[in-house]
Amino acid sequence: MLLSDLQHKDIINITDGKKIGNIIDAKFNIINGNIEKLIVEPSKSLFSLKNTSLEIDFNKIKKIGEDVILIEYSFSHH
């Protein structure tokens, strides 16, 4: 699977069922070549004040489907 294939899928949080956003990039481990983090552009409704990207650990992915990527993610509110 290519990174560009993942970029067309919606990221859905299984914790609350909400769409988090779409993948815009990824961070790789330069030693082993594995994806470590997905860089996600949040849905407009997720952050109304800021339009900043999220970094989601690759190990948070629970399932990659045909149309969506399901992750388990908790937002910490400070």
Residue-level pLDDT at 17? 92
Domain boundaries, the chain: 3-71
CB 39 within 8 A of CB 20: no
**Residue with the larger pLDDT of the pair 25 and 76:** 25
Residue 24: closest CA among 46, 45, 55, 50: 55
Tell me, what amino acid is at 22? N
Q: Tell me: the pLDDT tens digits for 15-62?
A: 999 999 999 999 999 999 999 999 998 877 655 556 578 899 999 999
- With a threshold of 0.85, does the pTM exceed it? no
CATH number for region 3-71: 2.30.30.240
Tell me, what amino acid is at 26? A
DSSP 1: -
Buried residues in 22-36 as b, exposed as e (16+ CB within 10 A)? bbeebeeeeeeeeee
Residue-level pLDDT at 78? 38
Residue 9 pLDDT > 60: yes
